[in-house]
Amino acid sequence: MKQSLSFAWNYADNFQKDYLKELPKNHHIIDVPHNIQDVPYNYFDEHIYQKVVTYEKYFDVDDNISNKVSLLRFEAFMLQADIYLNDVFLGHFVSGYLPVEIDVSSCVKQKGNRLLVILDSKEDNHIPPFGFAVDYLTFSGIYREVYLLTFPKTYIKDLYAYGDMQGNTYIHYEKIGEDDISLSFEILDEEGKTIAKTTQNVFKLDNPHLWNIDVPYQYTLLVKASNGEIYETKFGYRDAIFTNEGFYLNNKFLKLRGLNRHQCYPHVGYAMPKSMQENDAIKLKELGINIVRTSHYPQSEWFLNKCDELGILVIDEIPGWQHIGQEESWRNLYYEFVKKMVLKERHHVSLVAYGVRIDESCDDHELYKKGNQIAHELDKYRPTIGVRNFWNSELLEDIYGYNDFTCADMTKGLSNPNKYTKEKDAPVLVTEYMGHMEPVKVTSDLDKRKLVALRHAKVLDDALKYDRTCGSIGWCFVDYYTHVDFGSGDHICPHGVSDMYRNKKYSAAIYESQQDDHPVLEVLTNMRPGDFKESTYQDIYVATNMDRVDLYKNDELVASFYPKNDQFKYLKHPPILINDVLGATFNDERFTKKERKLIAEAFSYAGIHGFSHIKLKHKLLLAKILMKYHLKWNDVVDIWNTHIATWGGYAKTFTFKGIKENKEVIVKRIAPSLEFHYEYLCPRNELIVSDTYDVLPIVVRFVDPDGTVMPYANRAIKVTTEGNVSILGPELQTLLGGQITIYVRSLNKGNGKVIISNEMETKEIELVVR
């Protein structure tokens, strides 16, 4: 039986010896996931959350514990703790990113237990990932859930099933305890119908539904023990094979396209419950990626479960960043972490490789030989991968992971993957790209945001060009907190395709537009020449999965634009370049049809690139026209003012119509506006309390009547609550690039209200906590 111990802990912000007996009267009451110290959005001292604190939890056990084994399970705390139960010292435990399970059978009582956790969250150079500078903040607290598990004296643990596409099924577990028990196995389909029963732990299921990224079919395995216990796990049937000619899922070639995920959130660091862990998987799926790497540490089970459920392949990774400790204790912890990672994650059907090498570390034969061995012994079905940032490193893993930061401009996305390693047979995967090569914030200039998006496209294009690479995983999904030594000095590393609030930058649209599940049309500019040099439009790119885009100016068709493969040769849906803002709208009848076309082209070129960049052929054309029709320069200016007039002329309305199979599927209108309003996107009105509290994200945006987010609206809002909800983060916040996400958490069951005030209005959102 599994009992949640996540609610109502007593908490003291420090530790003193007398807390072993009793916490001070002025202690706080908190729930886990818990962050020792919330941080401002940016600019803070990264030491504020690194301290020794005390957690105390009183609890009764729901299950009858007589003659039972009781295990205390912490899903994760940062970083190490002395733990006591009923005054018995259970030991000193290191967690970080991995579970700690303690047998407390000898000291747990049916009622009135006192659990005490003296937690030290300081970075410690003797424990991975620490030892040198690390490019991410590790936050603090008991930041994942806590459970009490009870079993009969003889029980099974670490249960998992692995299925291949032939239907071969392998069931593994460890039996603990002395009694002889027999086990029988039942396989249930997605409808809950029993489809097979057996007592063999290796058997074949005929014609299984395969698990894949489009139909992630999962079965349930029930293990019934003769002592009455029932255990359950999900699993699926699939073959995931990395080769030196690419990756195959169920024998079908699949180019991997992914993003790396850090797990932090604004203000609360790592402390986010189930719903927010799941939400990240949902967002990744929307972006159309097919693989995620849990850089650079094992992540929440809720996140991984959702990847199983949605069909997102996963590569996990042990905690670490560039540094390898030389002391034995550090290295032993590395081995322990590899072991714990495999035990925690091998039941996930989505997991396709174990990242057993410290990200971007140098070669270390002894360490990695043993690390690989541990992973292979605990899971003989899955390959290992090692991520490095230099060529020809010693390959002890099954897959050569390489962080390819070649893309410095639009000339080259990736290096030729044959260069990464001399091992010709080795499967190769690009595990990171972009990131620091061109950091971009959600508040950066729009042309920089466009440029970074195009470079993501360039890398994806090159990943398709090179058959040798199994694919590419970009750096990274969302902006993340980092040490002062990295990023912009504000403790945020702005490498995400979305900001830390999970609101998208232009780069996100590049990924999203590569899938065909839903229509995407994102214009990678605001069409406001005043924003760009020489008051121009600049090259306009549209990230879209449409067959073509029809551009209208003030409701008149300019032209149709098609995906072209001159810049991006391999992408299924390359961004469409719009390099004409005049086209058919230039209908000055003084000129012949052919002249109109040429004049429109010349003016459009000037409107996009600036008059100082106009080409010689355009100059000659204008001179010819002036002479032929005896026009004066003022006439040319008139044409310009009427048709382009990028500075001070009446602003134009542009409509981009996305056409697929000759049908208009999606429309984006960008118009000058004098009217604006706030938009509140609340995905649901219920919060569900289960093993722990729930969190609901509400996006607040400042938009025009077309729903376009106004990128410079860095306005202040005030968020307060009433009833059974509260907000994570401060009451006063500012929109970032026109939007922000408010995180609302559940308190007790019942009604609650979020009140968002801004300079225009006060918006009340009614919620129910169930």
- How many whole angstroms separate alpha carbon 175 and alpha carbon 182? 11
Catalytic residue among 75, 432, 512, 601: 432
Distance separating alpha carbons of residues 492 and 41, to the nearest angstrom = 9
Give yes or no: 360 in active site: yes
| Residue whose CB is nearest to ligand GAL in the complex, by number | 435
The least distance separating ligand GAL from the CB of residue 493, rounded to whole angstroms, comes to 7
Minimum distance from residue 158 beta carbon to ligand GAL (Å): 30
- Shorter beta-carbon distance to ligand GAL: residue 355 or 417: 355
Q: Are 717 and 756 in contact (CB under 8 A)?
A: yes
CA distance 553 to 464: 35
CA angle 311, 204, 171 (to 5 degrees): 70
Angle at 533 between CA 531 and CA 536, to 5 degrees: 75
Q: Give the nearer residue to ligand GAL in terms of CB position, either 98 or 476.
A: 476
Q: Which residues bind ligand GAL (CB under 6 A)?
A: 135, 359-360, 389, 403, 432, 435-436, 475, 495
Residue from 56, 301, 360, 601 carrying the catalytic annotation: 360
Cα separation, 610 vs 646, in Å, equals 10
Could you tell me which of 179, 634, 666, 266 has the C-alpha nearest to residue 480?
266
Q: Which is nearer to ligand GAL, 49 or 136 (CB)?
A: 136
Chain Cα centroid distance, residue 1: 32
Q: How far is the CB of 455 from ligand GAL (least distance, A)?
A: 13
Closest C-alpha to 468, from 520, 405, 410, 399: 399
Separation CA 130–CA 670 (nearest Å): 48
Ranges assigned E (strand) in 389-533 = 399-403, 428-432, 469-474, 480-481, 492-493, 521-523
For ligand GAL, give the closer residue by CB, 354 or 605.
Answer: 354
Rank residues 456 and 553 by Cβ distance to ligand GAL and give the closer one: 456
Decide whether 19 or 475 has the Cβ nearer to ligand GAL.
Answer: 475
Q: Which is nearer to ligand GAL, 437 or 682 (CB)?
A: 437
Is residue 534 exposed (0-12), middle (13-18) or buried (19+ Cβ within 10 Å)? middle
- Tell me, yes or no, if 327 is annotated catalytic: no
State the nearest-atom distance from the C-beta of 474 to ligand GAL, in Å.
Answer: 10
Whole-angstrom Cα distance, residue 555 to residue 652? 10
Whichever of 308 and 317 has its CB closer to ligand GAL, that residue is 317
Q: How far apart are CA 472 and CA 465, in angstroms?
A: 12
Would you say 75 and 144 are in contact if contact means Cβ atoms under 8 Å apart? yes
Q: Smallest distance, Å, CB 207 to ligand GAL?
A: 42
Cis peptide bond N-terminal to 33, omega within 30: yes
Min dist. Cβ of residue 296 to ligand GAL (A): 6
Tell me the closest approach of the beta carbon of residue 293 to ligand GAL, in angstroms: 10
Instruction: Kindly state the smallest distance separating residue 387's Cβ from ligand GAL, in Å.
Output: 7
The catalytic site residues sit at: 360, 432
